[in-house]
Amino acid sequence: MEPERPDGRLVVLAVEDSPEAAAFIVAALEAEGMTVLVATDSARALSIIERVTPDVILMDAMMPGTDGFETSRRIKASGNFADIPIIFMTGLSETEHIVRAFAVGGVDYVTKPIRPEELVARIGVHSQNARMSRSARLALETTGRYLFATDGAGELLWATRQARQLLAEEAGAREAALAIPAGRLRIGATLPLSKDLSLTVVGRLGSKEFLLRITRDGMADDIETLQRQLQITAREAEVLLWLARGKPNRDIAEILKLSPRTVNKHLEVVFRKLGVENRAAATAIAVRQLSDNE
């Protein structure tokens, strides 16, 4: 997602094929200080999102060609845009259509004719919720966490960048992770995914969302030990652990999908925090901490 807007204005994408309805929405939202982009069909909507990431999407359910339901499904299928809240605008009030809107990733819906005050209120609530969610995920990614969530029925709900990369790169890992039935996802359980990967159930968020951590070669406990005992970040602990295992910087960079320069920067910080000047001294401290924890 894009960083906070310098002017603080919400950017809303209205996907609406009716010029009259689109003009009404633009006038109502701009009067509230929002920036409104308009797409008249699915293709234009997807093109706009690639160039300008909106804070909220207003989606007309019924459009010629690709309808709003399929358009929303395509947006949510992309890891880059999955957390943009989509509010459906529809004249359909049958339960099946409402259920379908939520099934393809919608967070809310308003019925036509649209009441501006209600629409503005819903946009405010969902944009704030999305902002909080993005901040939490950014914090997880910054610490180098390999975390993702599943509904226990084969659907990936979200994943940190590191977990997405690992699941994509390891043959069969994603399929194996999503194939684990909900009954086996007990908090604290560790389940093998492959020869090199394992899965730990960290927690449960609500009744249908399981928080999972994916680890390689049982590294999670060692990383947490170094982080806790040495007062360093998870990413710094990860770099230090591979250093203690005898890996040169170039190999560490390849393993962690970082640039060699980034690895060097992490090690410089680690050396400073540990009060040492070289790799050998840092390795000795790491090995001692890990040995004491056994």
Q: Helix, strand, or coil here: 11?
A: strand
Tell me the Cα Rg of the chain. 23
Q: Helix, strand, or coil here: 291?
A: helix
120 has a pLDDT exceeding 50: yes
Arithmetic mean of pLDDT, 155-183: 82
Does some domain include residue 5? Answer: no
Q: What share of the chain is helix, strand, coil (3-state, %, to 5)?
A: 50, 15, 35
Token reading at 53: 């990431």
Q: Which residues contact 237 (CB under 8 A, 6 or more apart)?
A: 223, 224, 226, 227, 230
Rounded Cα distance, 136 and 131, in Å: 9
In which order are the strands placed within the sheet that holds 108-111? 35-39, 11-15, 56-60, 86-90, 108-111
Q: Which residues contact 245 (CB under 8 A, 6 or more apart)?
A: none
Q: Helix, strand, or coil here: 105?
A: coil
240 has a pLDDT exceeding 80: yes
pLDDT tens track for 121-159: 999 999 888 877 776 666 666 655 788 888 878 888 878
165/194 same-domain check: yes
pLDDT of residue 5: 52
274 has a pLDDT exceeding 80: yes
Does some domain include residue 251? Answer: yes
Check which CATH number belongs to the domain holding 73 and give it.
3.40.50.2300
17/129 same-domain check: yes
Arithmetic mean of pLDDT, 177-182: 86
**Cα dist. 277→46, 64, 280, 285 in Å?**
51, 66, 9, 12
Does some domain include residue 4? Answer: no
Range of the domain at 188: 147-216
Does some domain include residue 279? Answer: yes
2 has a pLDDT exceeding 50: no
pLDDT of residue 224: 85
Which pLDDT band holds residue 192 (cuts at 50, 70, 90)? confident
245 or 49: whose pLDDT is higher?
49
Rounded Cα distance, 14 and 88, in Å: 10
116/59 same-domain check: yes
Which pLDDT band holds residue 6 (cuts at 50, 70, 90)? very low
Does some domain include residue 1? Answer: no
281 has a pLDDT exceeding 90: yes
**Cα dist. 268→39, 177, 283 in Å?**
49, 36, 13
- Name the pTM for this structure: 0.54
Does some domain include residue 277? Answer: yes
Does some domain include residue 3? Answer: no
27/132 same-domain check: yes
Between CA 204 and CA 59, with CA 160 as vertex, the angle to 5 degrees is 90
- Please name the helix (run of DSSP H) or strand (run of DSSP E) that holds residue 133, with its range, or none: helix 116-142
Mark which of 193, 216, 239 sits at the end of a domain.
216
Q: Is the peptide bond before 85 cis (omega within 30 degrees of 0)?
A: no
119/193 same-domain check: no
Mark which of 74, 109, 138 sits at the end of a domain.
138
8 Rama sector, left if φ>0, alpha if ψ -120 to 50, beta otherwise:
left
Strands (E) located in the chain: 11-15, 35-39, 56-60, 86-90, 108-111, 147-150, 156-159, 190-192, 197-204, 210-216
128/67 same-domain check: yes
Q: Which residues contact 253 (CB under 8 A, 6 or more apart)?
A: 259, 260, 262, 263
Task: State the total domains in the chain.
Answer: 3
Check which CATH number belongs to the domain holding 267 and give it.
1.10.10.10
Mark which of 179, 195, 216 sits at the end of a domain.
216
pLDDT of residue 3: 41
pLDDT of residue 218: 59
Does some domain include residue 169? Answer: yes
Rounded Cα distance, 120 and 271, in Å: 51
